[in-house]
């Protein structure tokens, strides 16, 4: 099976490992030669270019989506379960009726069919089903494909203009799947835009004030590839983990979480059948632990799985073992849980009863000390 970098054509899938089927990697000297085709990153004839992309239909004329996302009417509306307790001092409140607003922007199809991001539809399907399992309302109309720069701006303005819906949402989550480059640029139909152009409107939305806002970027951030020893190949110098733009106070505000599939300057990987490493593993981690752990804990676990369990081998470069290292930036002030949970509810109730019992025992001990005096 052919594996592509998210932004560059790439290699095979036979050596990928998953959590459930993790096997100890063989040393490079003992690896059998691969019979699958390997394409070098410098094969520019297969790189995606901005000039060969197809224009997007307007929202009103957009054809029906072929994605396997069930409409909200098929199962009813998910509402926040307020009968379960949360730790109000440590957690973001979940007092609204809607668990959260989720938007997906998927840049997949282009005029030159060889440039398409094959496998991206699988990512969208898995992501939507993952969050539906977690109790979120995702409709086909929440998924936007192949937008222009103007289309991205219009879509975001329309979504953030739904004030009543955002007011009832406990959080906001945006997933962007596309090609990317250094300094946080993401490609769309006729060009590219900086992700700060989507961060700022979300940051400044009054209906999302004091609510957790998570933006997930599945895209390359350069052309470099990191090998198992930590060095960088392809002649690209080592760079910062995040673009300096992310550290500017004018770009990111409070209560925000920006997650990237890879570090600054590096590629991310995508299988044309099973989807990207990052989104597929994110869905596995969030499905397994999303009702128990907070989001930062989930992302730490995700980073561990990606950099520990996934690798690829380029036989054209002395059997180098290439890795991918996701990263994220957070200004969250409290723990961000994706929902209220029965298990956490019982734990909190036990903690409250334990604290009450402890206080009673301490008062009794103080009374006995006073009597002894």
Q: Is 200 exposed, middle or buried (0-12, 13-18, 19+ CB in 10 A)?
A: middle
247 — pLDDT class (breaks 50, 70, 90): low
Least confident of 69-78, 161-170, 353-362: 69-78
Do 178 and 215 lie in one domain? The reply is: yes
Q: At what angle do helices 295-309 and 277-289 cross, to 10 degrees?
A: 130
Mean pLDDT is lowest, of 17-21, 349-353, 368-372, for: 17-21
What is the C-alpha to C-alpha distance for residues 261 and 40, in angstroms, rounded to an integer? 21
- For residues 103 and 50, the model is more confident at 103
User: What's the pLDDT score for residue 249?
Assistant: 63
Instruction: Report the mean per-residue pLDDT for the chain.
Output: 76
Do both 329 and 345 map to the same domain? no
User: Do the Cβ atoms of 237 and 304 come closer than 8 Å?
Assistant: no
Q: In what order do the strands lie in the sheet with 327-330?
A: 143-145, 101-106, 172-177, 213-218, 256-260, 327-330
Q: Three-class SS string for the chain?
A: CEEEECCECCCECCCCCCCCCCCCCCCHHHCCCCCCCCCCCCCHHHCCCHHHCCCCCCHHHCCCCCCCCCCHHHCCCCCCCCCCCCCCCCECCCCCCECCEEEEEECCCCCCHHHCCCCHHHHHHHHHHHHHHCCCCCCHHHEEECCCHHHHHHHHHHHHCCHHHHHCECCEEEEEECCEEHHHEEECCCCEEECHHHHHHHHHCHHHCCCCEEEEEECCCCCEEEECCCCEECCCCCCCCCCHHHHCCCCCCCCEEEEECCCCCECCEEECCCEEHHHHHHHHHHHHHCCCCCHHHHHHHHHHHHHHHCCEEEHHHCCEEEECCCEEEECCCCECCCCCCHHHHHHHHHHHHHHHHHHHHHHHHHHHHHHHC
Residues 194 and 263 in one domain: yes
* 180-181/143-145 β-pairing: unpaired
Residue 339 above 80 pLDDT?
A: yes
Mean pLDDT across 349-359: 76
Are the CB atoms for 288 and 230 separated by under 8 Å? no
Instruction: Report how many domains make up the chain.
Output: 2
Phi then psi dihedrals of residue 104, to 5 deg: -125, 125
Domain co-membership, 292 together with 365: no
Report whether 99 contacts 84 (CB < 8 A): no
- CA neighbours closer than 13 Å in the CB half-sphere of residue 164: 0
pLDDT for the residue 315: 54
Query: What is the CATH classification number for the domain harbouring 121?
Result: 3.40.50.1460
Which pLDDT tens digit goes with each residue over 126-152? 999 999 999 999 999 999 999 989 999
Residue 4: its pLDDT value, please?
Answer: 59
227 & 148 share domain: yes
User: Which domain does 47 fall in, by range?
Assistant: 3-24+31-340
Considering the domain architecture, whether residues 276 and 365 belong to the same structural domain is answered as no
Is the CB of residue 367 less than 8 Å from the CB of residue 360? no
- 31: CB partners within 8 A, 6+ apart: 313, 319
Residues 270, 277: contact at Cβ < 8 Å? yes
Q: Same domain for 118 and 226?
A: yes
Contact 145, 56 (CB under 8 A): yes
pLDDT for 39 equals 34
Q: How many CB atoms lie within 10 A of CB 95?
A: 11
* 41 shares its domain with 156: yes
Q: What is the pLDDT of residues 281-328, one digit of tens each?
A: 999 999 999 988 999 999 999 999 998 888 887 655 566 788 898 999
Residue 255 and residue 166 share a domain: yes
369 pLDDT more than 90:
no
The answer, as to whether pTM is greater than 0.75, is no
> Is residue 255 left, alpha or beta, with left meaning phi > 0 and alpha meaning psi from -120 to 50?
left
Tens-digit pLDDT profile for residues 103-116? 999 999 867 677 78
Using pLDDT thresholds of 50, 70 and 90, give the confidence band for residue 340: confident
Residues 277 and 346 in one domain: no
| Domain match, 263 and 355 both | no
pLDDT for 358 equals 79
Specify the pLDDT at position 245.
67
Q: What is the mean pLDDT of residues 183-202?
A: 90
Asked if 123 contacts 279 with a C-beta cutoff of 8 angstroms, the reply is yes
How, if at all, do strands 213-218 and 256-260 pair? parallel
Q: What is the pLDDT of residue 32?
A: 42
Separation of alpha carbons 157 and 161, rounded Å: 6
The two three-digit tokens of residue 33, written as one number = 């030669």
**What's residue 348's pLDDT?**
67
State pLDDT tens for residues 58-98: 444 444 445 555 544 455 677 776 656 566 678 899 889 99
Q: How far apart, in whole angstroms, are the C-alpha atoms of residue 238 and residue 227? A: 12
* pLDDT of 244 strictly over 50: yes
Comparing 206-220, 227-241, 297-311, 354-368, the range with the smallest average pLDDT is: 227-241
Whether the pLDDT of residue 16 is over 90: the answer is no
With 60 as the cut, is the pLDDT of residue 267 above it?
A: yes
281 and 353 together in one domain? no
């Amino acid at each position: 099976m052919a594996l592509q970098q998210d932004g560059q054509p790439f290699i095979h899938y036979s050596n990928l490992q998953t959590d459930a089927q993790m096997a100890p990697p063989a040393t490079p000297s003992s690896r059998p030669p691969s019979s699958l085709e390997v394409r070098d990153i410098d094969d520019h004839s297969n790189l995606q270019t901005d000039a060969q992309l197809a224009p997007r239909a307007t929202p009103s004329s957009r054809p029906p989506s072929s994605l396997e996302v069930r409409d909200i009417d098929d199962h009813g509306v998910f509402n926040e379960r307020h009968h379960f307790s949360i730790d109000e001092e440590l957690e973001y409140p979940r007092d609204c009726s809607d668990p959260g607003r989720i938007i997906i922007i998927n840049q997949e199809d282009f005029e030159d069919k060889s440039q398409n991001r094959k496998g991206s539809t699988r990512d969208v399907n898995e992501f939507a089903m993952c969050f539906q399992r977690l109790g979120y309302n995702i409709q086909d109309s929440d998924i936007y494909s192949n937008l222009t720069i103007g289309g991205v701006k219009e879509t975001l303005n329309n979504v953030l203009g739904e004030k009543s819906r955002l007011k009832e949402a406990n959080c906001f989550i945006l997933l962007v799947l596309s090609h990317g480059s250094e300094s946080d640029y993401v490609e769309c139909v006729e060009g590219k835009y900086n992700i700060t152009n989507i961060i700022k409107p979300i940051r400044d939305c009054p209906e999302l004030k004091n609510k957790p806002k998570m933006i997930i970027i599945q895209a390359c951030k350069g052309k470099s590839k990191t090998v198992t020893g930590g060095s960088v190949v392809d002649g690209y110098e080592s760079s910062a983990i995040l673009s300096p733009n992310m550290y500017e106070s004018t770009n990111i505000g409070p209560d925000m979480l920006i997650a990237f599939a890879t570090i600054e300057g590096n590629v991310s990987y995508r299988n044309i059948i099973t989807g990207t490493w990052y989104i597929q593993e994110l869905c596995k981690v969030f499905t397994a632990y999303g009702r128990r752990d907070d989001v930062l804990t989930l992302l730490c676990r995700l980073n561990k799985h990606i950099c520990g369990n996934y690798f690829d081998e380029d036989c054209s470069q002395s059997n180098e073992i290439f890795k991918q290292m996701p990263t994220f930036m957070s200004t969250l002030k409290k723990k961000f849980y994706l929902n209220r949970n029965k298990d956490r509810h019982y734990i909190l109730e036990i903690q409250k009863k334990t604290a009450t019992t402890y206080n009673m025992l301490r008062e009794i001990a103080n009374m006995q000390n006073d009597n002894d005096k």
